[in-house]
């Protein structure tokens, strides 16, 4: 009944718009308004067949009014079969092409952990580039990732670690978001001190990064980091990101002094004091995850509990990695993940983060890239042998970070495979 009434109202509005404008195409105005809402808000956008159907309808409306359009301008109108209303057809075709181009920039028509972008800066990145989405949706598809190069780096680290780009902390059962982020203010100095907390005994390492295809307002860097050498950027502790109002380009390069992870030690055994509530907040309907967390983690130090959660997802729990997952919303999405025991990195990072929070362990989700592929070796200026690595679009990744006393934010890897 509601659908019928809605269609009648829409028909009346379309008829009124066509009458008021004196052109059949005017009837498209209320239809366009209805089309714009889902096109700009849906994470996955409108399916292409739906868009093409709407575009075809617009062309038909233009064709219907072509004769009147020409007659109003004193042109002879021939209704013979050999004279098509070419002008209206041209207008309609141009409208369709324009809509296709514009639609790629609408937030609802692109999405995922990796977003493909056109470069508005005059082709600085060769016409196209890639950005990591600041909003992580459990239902977005990651299969569009390719071998497009994002960055290259050289490092003396024997075992390179993933590079963090930013972190997110607010979860509403479907989407992780960055909250409370302020505009970045560039630092006047070329050396930016992060001084991120790290375990005692961690060895410092130097890594030099060169951006190739990543267009991002946050720099990828190995964590925990001590110093980032780049001018015009600032460090934001809330999201653990090195940010700027201008995105990275092909000319972006910088060096990072950071710390290699150390073998598991005694850190994380002391109780937490003055924990920011944002790191412990869980959405309504998380009881299934809380029950599972207690069953898996048991008693022990926060580090021991975190290690058990990680092992549950990686080995003992029978979970598998797949991009082929059903789309569900609300608390049932995570419950279904636990029952199905399959998903991709965002699912595993989300589940472990929420479960850790239910145990009283501060946790967040980090977004970044995996170490990538080794592409060669070279000798640095100080005579030290370094390895060269390349990171591509398919290396985009998300993982949980848990805060442990005497160690700071520690990365865990629950995603199997």
- Confidence band (pLDDT; 50, 70, 90) for 178? confident
**How far apart are the C-alpha atoms of 327 and 256, rounded to whole Å?**
39
Q: Which pLDDT value is given to residue 73?
A: 45
* pLDDT at res. 118: 38
pLDDT at 184: 56
**Do 381 and 241 belong together in one domain?**
yes
Model pLDDT, residue 158:
85
Q: Is there a domain that residue 269 lies in?
A: no
The pLDDT, as a whole number, for residue 26 is 60
Q: Is the pLDDT of residue 283 over 80?
A: yes
Cα gap 259→299, rounded to integer Å: 30
Number of domains within the chain: 2
Residue 109: pLDDT band (50, 70, 90) is very low
> How far is 29 from 14, CA to CA, in rounded Å?
7
Residues 237 and 386 in one domain: yes
Higher-confidence position of 81 and 123: 81
Same-domain pairing of 60 and 137: no
SS percent in the chain: helix, strand, coil, step 5: 35, 25, 45
pLDDT at 62 over 60: no
For residue 217, the enclosing domain spans: 131-168+177-263+370-396
Residue 288 lies in a domain: no
If asked whether residues 378 and 245 sit together in one domain, one would say yes
What are 210's strand-pairing partners?
Answer: 152, 253
Task: Say yes or no: 225 and 374 in one domain.
Answer: yes
CA–CA separation, 280 and 354 (whole Å): 8
Assigned token pair, 113: 């952990």
Whether residue 208 sits in one domain with residue 161: yes
Q: Would residue 284 count as lying in a domain?
A: no
Question: How is the beta sheet containing 396-404 ordered, strand by strand?
Answer: 221-222, 163-168, 363-369, 396-404, 408-411
In this predicted model, which residue has the larger pLDDT, 294 or 53? 294
* Same structural domain, 71 and 157: no
Q: What is the pLDDT of residue 345?
A: 92
Per-residue pLDDT, 320: 96
- On whether residue 62 sits in a domain, the answer given is yes
- Beta strands 149-155 and 175-177 are unpaired
Asked if pLDDT for residue 54 goes beyond 80, the answer is no
**What's the whole-number mean pLDDT along residues 63-67?**
54
Assigned domain for 332 exists: no
Contact present, 268 and 231 (Cβ < 8 Å): no
Q: Do 216 and 144 lie in a common domain?
A: yes
**pLDDT value, residue 70:** 44
Please report the pLDDT score of residue 237 as a whole number: 85
pLDDT of residue 108: 37
288 or 70: which leads in pLDDT: 288
pLDDT tens column, 231-247: 989 988 888 999 998 89
pLDDT band with cut points at 50, 70 and 90 for residue 269: low
Whether residue 254 is found in the same domain as residue 378: yes
> Same domain, yes or no, for 60 and 202?
no
pLDDT of residue 266: 60
CA geometry: angle 102, 125, 185, nearest 5 deg: 90
In a domain, 406, yes or no: no
Q: Give pLDDT, residue 104.
A: 43
For residues 176 and 312, which has the higher predicted lDDT (pLDDT)? Answer: 312
Whether pLDDT at 44 is above 50: no
E-strand ranges in 239-372 read 241-243, 253-259, 320-321, 342-343, 363-369
Domain edge (last residue) among 109, 144, 159: 109
Q: How many whole angstroms separate alpha carbon 111 and alpha carbon 132?
A: 9
DSSP 147-206: S-EEEEEEE--SS--PEEEEEE-EE-SSEEE--SPPPP---SSSEEE------TTPPEEE
315, exposed or middle or buried, with CB in 10 Å at 0-12, 13-18, 19+?
exposed
**For the residues 404-414, what does the mean pLDDT come to?**
89
**Cβ atoms of 381 and 391 closer than 8 Å:** no
Examine residue 234 and state whether it is found in any structural domain, yes or no: yes
pLDDT value at residue 305: 95
pLDDT in tens, 347-402: 999 999 999 999 999 999 999 999 999 998 876 667 778 999 999 999 999 999 99
Residue of 258, 243, 222, 251 lying closest to 391 (CA atoms): 222
Q: Which two tokens stand for residue 186?
A: 């560039």
The residue-averaged pLDDT of 244-256 equals 91
Q: Which residue has the higher pLDDT, 20 or 252?
A: 252
**pLDDT at 194 (0 to 100):** 81
Same domain for 182 and 98: no
Per-residue pLDDT tens over the stretch 212-230: 999 999 999 999 999 999 9
In this structure, are 26 and 79 located in the same domain? yes
Within a domain: residue 184?
A: yes
Question: Could you identify the residue written with the tokens 């907040």?
Answer: 281
């Amino acid at each position: 009944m509601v659908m019928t009434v809605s269609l009648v109202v829409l028909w009346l509005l379309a008829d009124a718009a066509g009458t008021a404008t004196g052109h059949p195409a005017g009837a498209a105005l209320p239809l366009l308004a209805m089309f714009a809402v889902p096109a700009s808000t849906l994470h996955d956008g409108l399916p292409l067949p739906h868009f093409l159907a709407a575009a075809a309808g617009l062309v038909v409306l233009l064709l219907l009014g072509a004769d009147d359009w020409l007659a109003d301008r004193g042109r002879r109108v021939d209704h013979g079969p050999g004279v098509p209303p070419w002008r209206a057809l041209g207008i309609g075709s141009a409208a369709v092409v324009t809509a296709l181009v514009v639609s790629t920039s609408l937030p609802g028509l692109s999405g995922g952990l990796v977003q493909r972008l056109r470069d508005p800066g005059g082709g600085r990145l060769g016409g196209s580039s890639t950005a990591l989405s600041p909003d992580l949706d459990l239902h977005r598809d990651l299969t569009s990732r390719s071998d497009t190069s994002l960055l290259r780096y050289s490092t003396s680290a024997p075992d390179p670690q993933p590079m963090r780009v930013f972190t997110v902390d607010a979860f509403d059962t479907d989407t992780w978001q960055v909250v409370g982020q302020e505009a970045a203010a560039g630092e006047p100095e070329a050396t930016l001190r992060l001084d991120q907390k790290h375990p005692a005994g961690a060895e410092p390492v130097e890594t030099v990064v060169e951006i190739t295809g990543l267009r991002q307002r946050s720099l990828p860097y190995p964590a925990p980091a001590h110093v980032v050498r780049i001018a015009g950027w600032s460090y934001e502790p809330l999201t653990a990101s090195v940010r700027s109002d201008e995105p990275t380009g092909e000319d972006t390069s910088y060096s990072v002094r950071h710390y290699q992870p150390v073998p598991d030690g005694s850190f994380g055994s002391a109780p937490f004091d003055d924990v920011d509530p944002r790191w412990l907040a869980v959405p309504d309907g998380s009881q299934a995850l809380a029950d599972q967390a207690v069953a898996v983690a048991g008693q022990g130090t926060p580090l021991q509990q975190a290690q058990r959660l990680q092992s549950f997802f990686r080995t003992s729990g029978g979970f598998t990695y797949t991009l082929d997952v059903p789309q569900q919303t609300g608390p049932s999405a995570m419950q279904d993940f636990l029952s199905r025991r399959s998903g991709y990195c965002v699912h595993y990072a989300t589940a472990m983060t929420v479960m850790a929070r239910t145990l009283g362990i501060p946790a967040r989700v980090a977004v970044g890239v995996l170490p990538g592929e080794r592409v060669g070796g070279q000798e640095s200026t100080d005579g030290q042998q370094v390895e060269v690595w390349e990171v591509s679009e398919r290396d985009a990744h998300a993982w949980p970070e848990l805060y442990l006393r005497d160690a700071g934010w520690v990365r865990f890897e629950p995603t199997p495979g």
